[in-house]
């Protein structure tokens, strides 16, 4: 099989010319931006995925078209490596160079990638492509497919799927179906079978009631949840709101990010919802999940990724202890984890904790160092990974111990490849059912410290550099010293700043003993960023004034 790289150039020039002169940066999980500027990016990622597949000996590579929790006009692309992990870090630079060269330089750049990585272009390649339900996703999917075809690669289009489903398909195919069948039905079957075996016909237990309200963010997660419901035979009663069918824009006033950041329920909540009803929100591509409820006084309560992590870690530790198995367990967090959750995990659960920089690729990599690694970001993105040693040990003990049998079923219920909102939700429902807990039992395990996040617009986000898992700012010089001085004024105060991975803003996180102190601390640190890191735009509004931060 011979490949003429002129074909790549011809495709790009005629069908997917580069229309933006701005440099596109690789974010925490790929490229993201306004959909009208992404056609050339998508075509080139199709080219890159084909080369990556050949570089990895013909293994399947995944390409997911989604902007996740971003507004509907945005779109983006995520590449999935053979084991379901994010694209290898060293190839992020290759991807960045490829999307930023001019059309005239594209042929030469592709040739450089082939030469530098010693890629045999005569070998076969396989690329799986999926997309979310944004109106511009089909056009962008075609661009990816044409990029694959330009290098004579094989492409399989899955249509509208969640991001975790595409990760699952990639791993299932690359393990020759040992992980499951690489089909949509195979995905449903694996999760539902494990969930219903774990339920074992006991739909309610103690304070646990078998019904939830599910906010689908008007995204693909709503559509797939409706498919789950059709197949679940009443093992979980789910009311789906924000279905995105005919009305509602993706992530607009709904979804996991909205609920987490705004600290309020999504739009379209049923008016007759009873206090303490379990509610769950996923994001636009269903790789994040958070729980929430309203109490009998009408007050909103959030159960975020930290809460899910502590619930899961405690339950897994119970099962491992009951099974009398010696395994290394660990929980991985980021600096965004609430300080109270970390204290609870370390002091109460006695569960080892590691802190890594923001981004699922960092958490996943660290979690792989344990036999059972639990990782969740506070935003609700996370999963659990099991080593081969753990799986073999658990399988052996499961022959005689029920607790180990439960662990085996949990392994099937969990999508180890990436954070999966639906899989994680089914896991939480399983644990709450087994414990006989409702949301009041769950939230009473510890008290969150009040926290506040805000964004400060800057001229160039790259002026901010951090270390120590993003908890310490090293540039610009002097900023961290100023932050330390401000934080010292507040009981249980903590704050850090980090540059956004996708836009010219600096993200500020603050927590303290009281909500009032937290608001003021966030404001004061935000001011420091504005003054010392090239802030642009209107000044921050001081708390307790008529306008909020």
Chain segment 420-477, per-residue pLDDT in tens:
999 999 999 999 999 999 999 999 999 999 999 999 999 999 999 999 999 999 999 9
285 is in an annotated binding site: yes
Query: What kind of fold does domain 305-444 have according to CATH?
Result: Alpha-D-Glucose-1,6-Bisphosphate; Chain A, domain 3 (3.40.120)
The answer to whether the annotation marks 507 as part of a ligand binding site is yes
Q: Which of 40, 68, 137, 495 is catalytic?
A: 68
7 phi and psi, to 5 degrees? -60, -40
Res 1: pLDDT: 60
- The DSSP result for 155-221, as a single string, is EEEEEE--HHHHHHHHHHHHTTTSS--SSHHHHHHHHHHHHHHHHTT---BTTB-SEEEEE-TTSHH
Model pLDDT, residue 471: 95
Both structure tokens of 12: 């790009």
Does the annotation flag 125 for ligand binding? no
Asked whether residue 499 is marked as a ligand-binding residue, the answer is yes
In tens, the pLDDT along 292-321 reads 999 999 999 999 999 999 999 999 999 999
* pLDDT of residue 359 exceeding 90: no
Domain formed by 187-301, architecture: 3-Layer(aba) Sandwich (3.40)
- pLDDT for 548 equals 36
Map tokens 């002097």 to a residue: 478
pLDDT at residue 271, rounded to an integer: 87
Instruction: Tell me: pLDDT of 546 over 60.
Output: no
Catalytic residue flag (residue 235): no
Tell me the average pLDDT across 23-29: 83
541 is in an annotated binding site: no
The CATH homologous superfamily to which domain 451-533 belongs is Alpha-D-phosphohexomutase, C-terminal domain (3.30.310.50)
Q: What is the mean pLDDT of residues 219-244?
A: 96
> Do the domains at 187-301 and 451-533 have one common CATH topology?
no
Is 502 part of any known ligand binding site? yes
User: In the chain, pLDDT over 90 holds for what percent of residues?
Assistant: 85
3-state secondary structure of 302: strand
Would strands 505-511 and 494-499 be described as parallel, antiparallel, or unpaired? antiparallel
Fold of 5-160: Alpha-D-Glucose-1,6-Bisphosphate; Chain A, domain 3 (3.40.120)
pLDDT at 100 over 50: yes
| pLDDT over 60 at 416, yes or no | yes
283 a known binding residue?
yes
pLDDT at 8 over 90: no
**So what's the pLDDT on residue 2?**
60
Identify the band that residue 56 occupies on the pLDDT scale cut at 50, 70 and 90.
Answer: very high
pTM recorded for the entire structure: 0.92
pLDDT at 545 over 50: no
Contact (CB, 8 A) for 106 and 7: no
378 annotated to a ligand binding site: yes
Cα–Cα nearest to 64, from 30, 36, 38, 37: 30
For the chain, the domains span 5-160, 187-301, 305-444, 451-533
Average pLDDT over every residue of 111-139: 96
């Amino acid at each position: 099989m011979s490949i003429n790289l002129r074909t790549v150039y011809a495709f790009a020039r005629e069908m997917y010319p580069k229309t933006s002169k701005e440099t596109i940066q690789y974010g925490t999980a790929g490229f993201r931006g306004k959909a009208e500027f992404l056609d050339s990016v998508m075509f080139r990622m199709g080219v890159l995925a084909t080369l990556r597949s050949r570089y990895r000996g013909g293994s399947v590579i995944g390409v997911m078209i989604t902007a996740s929790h971003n507004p509907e006009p945005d779109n983006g692309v995520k590449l999935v490596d053979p084991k379901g992990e994010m694209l290898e870090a060293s190839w992020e630079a290759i991807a960045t160079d490829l999307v930023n060269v001019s059309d005239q330089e594209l042929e030469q750049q592709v040739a450089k990638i082939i030469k530098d990585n010693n890629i045999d272009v005569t070998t076969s390649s396989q690329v799986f492509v999926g997309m979310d339900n944004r109106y511009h996703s089909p056009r962008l999917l075609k661009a990816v497919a044409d990029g694959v075809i330009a290098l004579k690669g094989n492409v399989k289009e899955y249509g509208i799927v969640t991001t975790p489903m595409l990760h699952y398909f990639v791993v299932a195919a690359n393990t020759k179906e040992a992980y499951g069948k690489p089909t949509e039905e195979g995905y449903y079957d694996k999760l539902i079978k494990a969930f219903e075996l774990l339920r074992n016909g006991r739909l309610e237990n103690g304070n646990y009631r078998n019904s939830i309200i599910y906010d689908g963010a008007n995204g693909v997660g709503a559509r797939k949840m409706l498919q789950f419901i059709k197949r679940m035979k009443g093992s979980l009663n789910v009311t789906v709101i924000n279905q995105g069918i005919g009305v509602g824009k993706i992530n607009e006033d709904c979804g996991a990010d909205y609920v987490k950041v705004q600290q309020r329920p999504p739009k379209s909540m049923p008016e007759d919802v009873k206090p303490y009803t379990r509610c769950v929100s996923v994001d636009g591509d269903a790789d994040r999940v958070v729980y929430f409820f309203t109490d009998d006084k009408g007050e909103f309560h959030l159960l975020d990724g930290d809460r899910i992590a502590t619930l899961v870690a405690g339950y897994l530790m119970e099962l491992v202890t009951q099974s009398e198995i010696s395994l290394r367990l660990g929980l991985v967090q980021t600096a965004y984890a609430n300080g109270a959750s970390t204290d609870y995990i370390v002091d109460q659960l006695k569960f080892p904790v590691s802190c890594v920089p923001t981004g699922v690729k960092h958490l996943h990599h660290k979690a792989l160092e344990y036999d059972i690694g639990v990782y969740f970001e506070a935003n609700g993105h996370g999963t659990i990974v099991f080593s081969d040693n753990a799986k073999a040990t658990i399988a052996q003990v499961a022959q005689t111990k029920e607790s180990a049998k439960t662990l085996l079923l949990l392994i099937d219920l969990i999508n180890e490849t990436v954070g999966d909102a639906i899989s994680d939700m089914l896991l939480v429902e399983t644990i709450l059912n087994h414990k006989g807990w409702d949301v009041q039992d769950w939230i009473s395990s510890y008290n969150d410290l009040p926290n506040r996040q805000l964004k400060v617009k800057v001229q160039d986000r790259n002026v901010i550099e951090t270390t120590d898992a993003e908890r310490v700012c090293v540039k610009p010089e002097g900023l961290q010293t100023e932050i330390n001085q401000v934080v010292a004024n507040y009981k249980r105060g903590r704050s850090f700043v980090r540059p956004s991975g996708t836009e010219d803003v600096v993200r500020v996180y603050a927590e303290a003993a009281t909500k009032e102190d937290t608001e003021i601390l966030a404001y004061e640190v935000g001011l420091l960023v504005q003054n010392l890191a090239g802030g642009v735009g209107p000044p921050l509004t001081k708390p307790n004034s008529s306008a909020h931060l």
